[in-house]
Amino acid sequence: MSVFHYYVVAAILFSIGAGGFLLRRNILVMFMSVELMLNAANLCLVAASSSFDLARGSSFALVSIAVAAAEVGVGLAIIIAWFRLRPSVDAGDLQELRG
Amino acid sequence: MTPNDLALVGPILLPALAALLVILVDLLPGSQRSSGSFLLAVLGAAVSLGYTIHALMHDRVGLAFYGTMKIDRMALLITLFVHASAMLSLLLSKVYLDRRSDVEQPEYHAFVLTAACGMAMLAGANDLVNVFLGIELLSIPLYLLVAMRKHQSRSVEAGFKYLLLGAFASAFMLFGAALLFGASGKTMLTAIPSGIARIGNDTPLAAFGATMLLVGLLFKVAAVPFHMWTPDVYEGAPTPITAFMATATKAATFAVLLRLAPVLGASLGEERAADLLGGIAVLTMFVGNLGALTQLNLKRLLAYSSISHAGYLLVGLAALVRSYGSSAEAEAASSIVYYLGAYTAMSLGAFAVAVLIDGGKDREAVSDLAGLGKRNPLLAAAMTVFALALAGVPPTAGFFAKYYVFLSAVDAGLIAVAVLGVIASVIGLYYYLRILLTMYVDEAKPGHEAVVSRDALVGAVSLAAVAFVLLLGIVPKGFVEAMALAH
């Protein structure tokens, strides 16, 4: 198993995430898809890191996990604010701003 | 970590400290919530700005934190634009928020400072980890700031759109950074090109990585085809935040793009990278200028204008990538930094006028400017300067900014891109002149007269911006030479 196998798995995970983001209309599912994409990147970082025998990539992955958690916190706060104004989780309802 | 490291990154740490202070003071019992946090935040931004100017004047430059931060003159200049933009936006916010009661002010002020910290970090970042951290540190507070008017569905919807698409773009950026690390074994930006050469460029890993990283960054500067969020978010956000986002985010992200130029060249091939960026630049200039032609909302119009300005800046970036390592490199880099300085001033000024005409009722149509020339000649004159500068009419800074960028493109051999850029800016003239016509010729509809509030704060912001736009335009050469030292 070379490091490229890991890259391929990461690329597949990333594509599933990107596809989910673009095709699904439920905002929570779209948000989860982004998390999947971030995890694909983390997998890639850790795999590369161990292939070079460097700690650099793994520590990058740790940083990115922390950042992703912060992003989810803020994201859910905004989703709740949105839900209070308009009880819907359909991305199609985001259409007041147009033009 | 040495004391010297801390002194070097002072412009980055100070806004973060100020943000913490704003939140802590807000917790004190009986504190005057809004006015206290406003004063502290402005003070924090002013101290950060002063420190940056001090560092710039005394040439406090160097590498910090084992080379992961590179505080050079370019970084300090961009940090200067960021902090100036943060401070002026805070002053505008005072006027904007005093007319509205639906915003938590201490949080608002703390988030502006946090975002400024992220932008300053981005300007000095010399490592993929710091680039990612900087991007997130500026984005996450901005998502919240855009959605800050939590009882107004326009604002929350804009924040939500920005969050969803921003997170999507960040994922691209992170994946690109991971692939670049895999292709080079390095995370330090200056070490990546040699790392790619050492490992061998027989795989498309580096090219994929650089492209995806570029996608994430182009999203932040609102380049076509990653610009769709821009008009909606700029329209829905509180106007002072729109001003801050349009100027400071662009400046900070272009700082990273400047540092990434050698990485793009090494991973995509210099010619291919320059062609790619040149193509995106042309598309961005045309989509921005054509999109603005039909806009009736002033903030939306300025959003499309901001897209077109990202295009002009990308012309400079394409020239930089093409001429990297040659004598024209410094010229291209300094033309971008000059452009960012000019754009920050003229765009902030235009948004300051937008804050003034809205009168607390979210009136932001271009037609609301009608009759401003008679009612408030001074403000109308200021808006005239900003509109002419954004259009690129001499002798304003906007003209010289475009001139230097196109000149560096011609010197780098990208003549077609420069010619198309000139054509796009001629199209742009139309809608900037429409603003002038509305102000001076159109009569205001009854009940829709432009609000003439003589607010000292907005007046000061506009005046500072006018002075800067004209000063940069009248003595452009000196500024460019000072900035050429930046590299």
Share of residues in chain B with pLDDT > 70 (%): 95
B170 contacts on A by Cβ (under 8 Å): 38, 71
pLDDT at residue B452, as a whole number: 57
Separation between Cα atoms, residue B487 and residue B479, nearest integer Å? 14
The residue count of chain A comes to: 99
Mutation choice for B interface testing from A44, A58, A76 by most B CBs within 10 A = A44
Give B88-116 pLDDT, tens digit per residue: 999 999 888 888 888 888 999 999 999 99
Separation between Cα atoms, residue B189 and residue B285, nearest integer Å? 29
DSSP characters for B81-132?
Answer: HHHHHHHHHHHHHHHHHHT--SS-HHHHHHHHHHHHHHHHHHHHB-BHHHHH
Mutation choice for B interface testing from A25, A34, A97 by most B CBs within 10 A = A97
Burial class of residue B198, CB neighbours in 10 A (0-12, 13-18, 19+): exposed
A63 contacts on B by Cβ (under 8 Å): 129, 132-133
Would you kindly state where each structural domain of chain A is located, as residue ranges? 3-90
B128 contacts on A by Cβ (under 8 Å): 60
Mutation choice for B interface testing from A78, A89, A94, A98 by most B CBs within 10 A = A78
Separation between Cα atoms, residue B136 and residue B152, nearest integer Å? 25
Mean pLDDT for chain B?
A: 90
pLDDT at residue A18, as a whole number: 96
Beta bridge partners of B70: B63
Q: Looking at the predicted structure, is the pLDDT value of residue B487 above 60?
A: no
Question: If you average pLDDT over residues B2-23, what whole number do you get?
Answer: 93
Q: Does B58 touch chain A (CB under 8 A)?
A: no
- Domain A3-90 is in which class? mainly alpha
Q: Which of B144, B187, B235 sits opposite A60 (nearest CB)?
A: B187
Q: Does B65 touch chain A (CB under 8 A)?
A: no
**10 Å Cβ neighbour count for B202?**
6
Give A17-58 pLDDT, tens digit per residue: 999 999 999 999 999 999 999 999 999 999 999 999 988 899
pTM, rounded to two decimals: 0.95
C-alpha distances (whole Å) from B71 to each of B127, B192, B262, B266 are 12, 19, 18, 23
Encoded tokens for B422: 């000139």
Helices and strands in chain A, H and E counts:
3, 0
Q: Do A48 and B182 touch (CB under 8 A)?
A: yes
pLDDT at residue B174, as a whole number: 97
B196 contacts on A by Cβ (under 8 Å): none
Q: Do B178 and A42 touch (CB under 8 A)?
A: yes
Measure B197 CA to nearest chain A CA, in Å: 15
Measure B338 CA to nearest chain A CA, in Å: 32
Q: Looking at the predicted structure, is the pLDDT value of residue B486 above 70?
A: no
